[in-house]
């Protein structure tokens, strides 16, 4: 029972650390502007959809 509790706690800790690392990497990509083109394309597509219904 105790061993399962410890293993579960360790798995949770590792998962939390992995999520933090992933978030840091994502933030770094955002700072480098890697998502700017995708955001611009999304905004343009949204504008076109709205214009189609006007």
Question: pLDDT grade, residue 17 (50/70/90)?
Answer: very high
pLDDT, residue 16, reads 98
Cα–Cα distance measured from residue 41 to residue 31, given in angstroms and rounded to the nearest whole number: 18
pLDDT at 1 over 90: no
| H helix count then E strand count, the chain | 2, 0
Report field, pTM of the whole predicted structure over 0.75: no
Q: Per residue in 24-42, pLDDT tens?
A: 999 999 999 999 999 999 9
Contact in structure between 26 and 18 (CB atoms under 8 Å) = no
At residue 54, the pLDDT reads: 85
> Mean pLDDT over residues 36-50, rounded?
96
């Amino acid at each position: 029972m105790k061993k399962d509790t410890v293993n579960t706690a360790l798995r949770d800790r590792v998962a939390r650390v992995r999520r933090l690392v992933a978030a840091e990497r994502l933030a770094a990509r955002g700072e480098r502007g890697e998502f700017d083109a995708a955001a611009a394309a999304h905004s343009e597509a949204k504008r076109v959809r709205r214009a189609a219904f006007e």
